[in-house]
């Protein structure tokens, strides 16, 4: 989780944590490619190998609240909770262990490399909650909703499988809708207030935190439609291009764009003052 290192509790020893919760952590996810449903199912005495009927991915799971709540509401589903940051893996593993959820496995992995961890059709759903927005143009390729990433996810989804985004960021939501269309996904629904539209959905830590700061949740659910023959190349875009025209009207500023919006507002205020001031 970005910026978390600075806020680590005083006596936090990462290795110790990872070891303490090792039972629910899979540090080498490539080993289970194609075998998650069987490998993670608890042994059923006298019944031989059993298997989960559904495997879903919580991509960039953070501290694991969403994965644990989803697993509690769907005991027949295996939830793979993945994060690239070892600290998040440790926190998520602690959360899952304390919640006592048998159907969650916490994985250290990179969302840019999903085809190494999952085989075609292995996932029934990919949940992407409040992904790191990477607003700058030069970081655009790292956004987990870029068309290039969405193309990678397509084959991993089972028939009828879904990709769902939730974010506090109107710019990231708008960008991601465009990218989903480029990658040939069909929208099942989109919402500019997903908490109101789907009040029973589990909360993630970021949704809790950012909603308390005034965020609205933008979300969509999409499923792969006919694949584009070739992904047409596109210039990387800054998320600034997706901000509303009039920043003065914008109440809540999306996470990760605070400094940019402050700068843009100052610039605009100066420009207006200059235009308005009489010339000597
Ligand atoms: C803003 S946090 C949101 C966490 C959680 N989903 C939530 O809603 O509370 C974004 C998370 O995505 C993770 N992340 C960013 N890029 C990633 C990648 N390429 N692969 C896996 N995780 C990634 C970060 O480490 C961080 O934990």
Contact criterion met (CB below 8 Å) for 155 and 192: no
Q: What is the pLDDT of residue 2?
A: 47
The pick from 29, 57, 81, 84 for probing ligand 1's pocket by mutation, whose C-beta has the most ligand atoms within 8 angstroms, reads: 84
196: which residues sit within 8 A by CB, 6+ positions away?
none
Calculate how far, in angstroms, residue 280's C-alpha sits from the geometric centre of ligand 1.
54
Contact criterion met (CB below 8 Å) for 166 and 219: yes
Q: Whose alpha carbon is nearest atom 11 of ligand 1?
A: 60
Please state the atom number of ligand 1 nearest to the C-alpha of residue 142: 19
Q: Which residues pair with 58 in a beta bridge?
A: 81, 127
Q: Which domain holds residue 239?
A: 5-276
The answer to whether the CB of 254 is under 6 A from ligand 1 is: no
Please give the Cα distance from 78 to 231 (Å, whole number): 32
Count of Cβ atoms closer than 10 Å to residue 95 Cβ: 25
Please state the atom number of ligand 1 nearest to the C-alpha of residue 128: 6
Please give the Cα distance from 34 to 171 (Å, whole number): 35
Q: What is the pLDDT of residue 29?
A: 94
Contact criterion met (CB below 8 Å) for 69 and 202: yes
Q: What is the pLDDT of residue 251?
A: 85
Q: What is the pLDDT of residue 4?
A: 46
Whichever domain contains 215, its CATH number is 3.40.50.150
Q: Which residues pair with 104 in a beta bridge?
A: 79
Calculate how far, in angstroms, residue 39's C-alpha sits from the geometric centre of ligand 1.
25
- Residue of 178, 254, 172, 177 whose CA lies nearest to 220: 177
The pick from 56, 131, 205, 211 for probing ligand 1's pocket by mutation, whose C-beta has the most ligand atoms within 8 angstroms, reads: 131
Q: What is the pLDDT of residue 10?
A: 66
Calculate how far, in angstroms, residue 132's C-alpha sits from the geometric centre of ligand 1.
6
Q: What is the pLDDT of residue 125?
A: 98
Residue with tokens 């901000």: 243
Contact criterion met (CB below 8 Å) for 202 and 66: yes
Helix or strand holding residue 55 (H, E)? strand 54-59
The pick from 3, 7, 60 for probing ligand 1's pocket by mutation, whose C-beta has the most ligand atoms within 8 angstroms, reads: 60
The answer to whether the CB of 116 is under 6 A from ligand 1 is: no
What's the number of domains the chain is made of? 1
Q: Which residues pair with 128 in a beta bridge?
A: 59, 165
Contact criterion met (CB below 8 Å) for 132 and 103: no
The answer to whether the CB of 85 is under 6 A from ligand 1 is: yes
Q: Is 249 left (phi over 0), alpha (psi -120 to 50) or beta?
A: alpha
The pick from 67, 79, 82, 83 for probing ligand 1's pocket by mutation, whose C-beta has the most ligand atoms within 8 angstroms, reads: 83
Please state the atom number of ligand 1 nearest to the C-alpha of residue 144: 19
Predicted TM-score of the model (pTM):
0.92
Contact criterion met (CB below 8 Å) for 218 and 168: yes
Q: Which residue ranges of the chain lie beneath pLDDT 70?
A: 1-11, 277-280
Contact criterion met (CB below 8 Å) for 217 and 211: yes
The answer to whether the CB of 130 is under 6 A from ligand 1 is: yes
């Amino acid at each position: 989780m970005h910026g978390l290192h600075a806020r680590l509790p005083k006596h936090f020893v990462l290795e110790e944590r990872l070891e303490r919760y090792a039972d629910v952590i899979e540090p080498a996810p490539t080993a289970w490619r194609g075998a998650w449903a069987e490998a993670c199912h608890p042994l059923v005495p006298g019944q031989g190998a059993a298997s989960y009927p559904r495997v879903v991915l919580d991509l960039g799971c953070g501290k694991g609240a969403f994965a644990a709540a989803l697993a509690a509401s769907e005991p027949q589903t295996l939830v793979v909770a993945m994060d690239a940051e070892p600290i998040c893996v440790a926190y998520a593993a602690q959360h899952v262990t304390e919640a006592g959820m048998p159907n969650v496995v916490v994985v250290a992995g990179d969302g840019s490399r999903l085809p190494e961890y999952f085989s075609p059709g292995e996932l029934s759903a990919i949940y992407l909650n409040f992904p790191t927005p990477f607003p700058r143009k030069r970081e655009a390729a790292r956004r987990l909703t870029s068309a290039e990433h969405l193309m990678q996810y397509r084959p991993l989804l089972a028939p009828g499988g879904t990709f769902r985004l939730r974010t506090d960021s109107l710019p990231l939501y708008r960008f991601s809708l465009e990218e989903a269309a480029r990658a040939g996904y069909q929208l099942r629904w989109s919402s500019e207030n997903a908490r109101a539209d789907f009040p029973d959905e589990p909360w993630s830590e970021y949704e809790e935190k950012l909603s308390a700061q005034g965020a609205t949740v933008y979300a969509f659910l999409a499923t792969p439609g006919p694949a584009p023959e070739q992904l047409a190349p596109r210039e990387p875009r800054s998320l600034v291009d997706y901000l509303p025209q009039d920043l003065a009207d914008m109440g809540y500023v999306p996470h990760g764009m605070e400094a940019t919006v402050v700068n843009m507002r100052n610039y605009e205020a100066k420009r207006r003052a200059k235009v308005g001031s009489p010339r000597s």
